[in-house]
Amino acid sequence: MTQVQAVAKKRSRWNALSEWFDTRLGLANTILRPVPSYSLKPDYWLGAIAFLAFLICGFTGILQLQYYVPTPDAAYDSVQHFNEFVPYGNLIQSVHLYSAFAMIFFAFAHMMRGYFLSVHKRPRELMWVIGMLMGLSALGMGFTGYLLPWTVLSKSATDISIGFVNQLPDPFRSFLMYGLTGSGADGDLLLRFFALHTVVLPAVIFVLFAIKLHMFEVHGVVKPEGNSAPAEVRLIPWFPRIVAYMLLLASIVGSAILTIAVLFPFQLPAKFTYEAAASATPTPEWYFLWAYQILKFSVFEGQLGIRLALVLLAAIMAAFTLLPFIDRNPRRAPRQRPVYVTVGAIAIVEVFVLVIWGSMTPGMTIPAVQGVLVLGCSALATICILFVWHRQVVHPSEMLYERFLARKERQPSPETTQESARGDAPGSGS
């Protein structure tokens, strides 16, 4: 048998095996259909990366679950024990933490990419809504997970968030307070957050993921718009190229998380005691600092202020969730929707400004004038930069492109050439 024949035989065995599975699973007809070649760019896979980070969180979370004790007296000690005495405990906790950060960061990046490229438009409106619900659930995972080690920072920060709920008018207050804290005792609070973090929210995310994946398979990848639109779409089968591409992305993200986890291992803050809480200024994790900073503006003090702030935050979330029904402009290319692109750019800039600012001013009330000034100036700066960028970069190239098109239209037809020559004649003749 020659070498070629041997390879061919090996291949056919592999083919037989994969065919056997595919006849039964049918995956080649559903989620493993060939993928258009233009989608082999990392920005098409941001959502997949976020979901990969979620899976890593699930894996490391299950390991931690073997040791965790969800009672106020024992929670901290069980986390500390896992951290210090269980082999690789600290690494597992660090990977869990940074995967959670990665999940939230890539989910945000995935959302903003979709916003700018108009993926929320017909027929993908409900994909956007489901995606937003998944993102909010991911934030809920972060919020509930923060409490579980029962450290002085995390317990106090959770108390503050619940304190906001406590300031709502009554049917909402009593309903939400009961939902989040049960009777109000610490044990109830911890048990509820534990159930939400380990059972309810992961289940919600999995169900929403299944629905979204189904819709994705029906509607497919969003085609790039405008100048970057491909002339013809080439389809690439899943095996081996897409699998290799996914493995490449996954290993880049995974090793990045691992590297960060090794370089900056998770350090357990002090245990929660009433004495320690009285001298610590609690802050939320970075992904809530933007909301934290807004809530510290002096206009949002007092009961009415707190209610207003909560309504404002809920309205921002609702507006983003229901974006497909607000932004009904059918055009998709970013340059054809300047208002939404500007609003999106301002939103990103403000989130970064608020997060950095919030980390610099823990526990300090921000005077309203200062808040308006900082947010206003950064918004104005964003608008200016976008305007200049449009005039200097986008607009000239567009004009060139249009001029090129115009010339192309003029040249091939001899009639137009004659007409223009005739038209030119009086001028040149005089």
Partner 1 sequence: MLLVSLGLGFVGILPMLRSATPPSVEVPKWPRVRVANVTDLQQGTPKIFTYPLEDTPNILVKLGKRVEGGVGTDGDVVAYSQVCQHLGCFVRFLSSSQQSQSPGKDIFYCPCHAGTYDADDAGQILGGPPLYPLPQVLLQYDDTSGDIFAYGMGPPVIFGKGPPGSTEAWMDLVGGTLVGGAST
Instruction: Considering only residues 249 through 288, tell me which ones interact with partner 1, judged by CB under 8 A.
Output: 274-275, 277-282
Sequence-distant (6+) residues with CB within 8 A of 335 are 226, 341, 390, 394, 398
Q: What minimum distance in Å lies between the beta carbon of 188 and partner 1?
A: 8
Residue with Cβ nearer partner 1 (63 or 276): 276
How far apart are the C-alpha atoms of 282 and 109, rounded to whole Å? 27
Q: Which position among 101, 164, 209, 320 is part of the footprint of partner 1 (CB under 8 A)?
A: 164
Based on the shown chain and the rule CB under 8 A, indicate whether residue 178 belongs to the binding site for partner 1.
yes
- Is 185 a binding residue for partner 1 by CB under 8 A? The answer is yes
Q: Which of 3, 23, 183, 267 binds partner 1 (CB under 8 A)?
A: 183
CA separation for the pair 323, 327 (Å, rounded): 6
User: Which residue among 112, 162, 236, 313 contacts partner 1 (CB under 8 A)?
Assistant: 162
Any contact of residue 123 with partner 1 (CB under 8 A)? Answer: no
CB-nearer residue toward partner 1: 98 or 150: 150
In the chain, % helix, strand, coil (3-state, to 5) comes to 75, 0, 20
Q: How far apart are CA 129 and CA 49, in angstroms?
A: 19
Closest distance between partner 1 and the C-beta of residue 159, in Å? Answer: 5
The per-residue b/e assignment along 407-421, b for 16 or more CB within 10 angstroms, e otherwise, is: eeeeeeeeeeeeeee
Size of interface with partner 1, in residues (CB under 8 A): 36
**Minimum CB distance to partner 1, residue 182 (Å):** 8
CA distance 303 to 164: 9
DSSP state of 332: -
Torsion of CA 368, 373, 378, 382, to 10 degrees: 120
Q: Is 71 in the site for partner 1 (CB under 8 A)?
A: no
What are the two backbone dihedrals, phi and then psi, of residue 232, each rounded to the nearest 5 degrees?
A: -135, 145
One-letter identity of residue 106: F
Q: By CB under 8 A, tell whether 359 contacts partner 1.
A: no
The set of residues, in sequence order, having a beta carbon less than 8 Å from that of 358 and lying 6+ positions away, is: 283, 289, 290, 292, 293, 296
Read off the amino acid at residue 258.
L
Q: Work out whether 313 is an interface residue with partner 1 (CB under 8 A).
A: no
Short-list 41, 56, 99, 22, CA closest to 246: 41
With beta carbons less than 8 A apart as the criterion, state whether 109 and 117 touch: no
Q: Does 171 bind partner 1 (CB under 8 A)?
A: no
301 binds partner 1 (CB under 8 A): yes
What DSSP character marks residue 70? -
Site for partner 1 in 372-391 (CB under 8 A): none
- The contact pattern for partner 1, residues 316-355, with x = CB under 8 A and - = no contact, is ----------------------------------------
User: Residue 164 CB, nearest distance to partner 1 (Å)?
Assistant: 6
224 binds partner 1 (CB under 8 A): no
Q: Quick one: which of 125, 186, 225, 398 contacts partner 1 (CB under 8 A)?
A: 186
Q: Which stretch binds partner 1 (CB under 8 A): 199-207, 260-268, 295-303, 325-333?
A: 295-303
Whichever of 235 and 278 has its CB closer to partner 1, that residue is 278
Q: Is 160 in the site for partner 1 (CB under 8 A)?
A: yes
DSSP 151-177: BHHHHHHHHHHHHHHHTS-HHHHHHHH
Give the nearer residue to partner 1 in terms of CB position, either 265 or 305.
305
- 145 binds partner 1, rule: CB under 8 A: no
- The verdict on 144 binding partner 1 (CB under 8 A) reads no
Buried b (16+ CB within 10 A) or exposed e, 288-325: bbbbbbbbbbeebeeeeebbebbeebeeeeeebbebbe
Site residues, partner 1 (CB under 8 A): 72, 156, 159-160, 162-164, 166-167, 170, 173-174, 177-178, 181-186, 188, 274-275, 277-282, 296, 301-303, 363-365
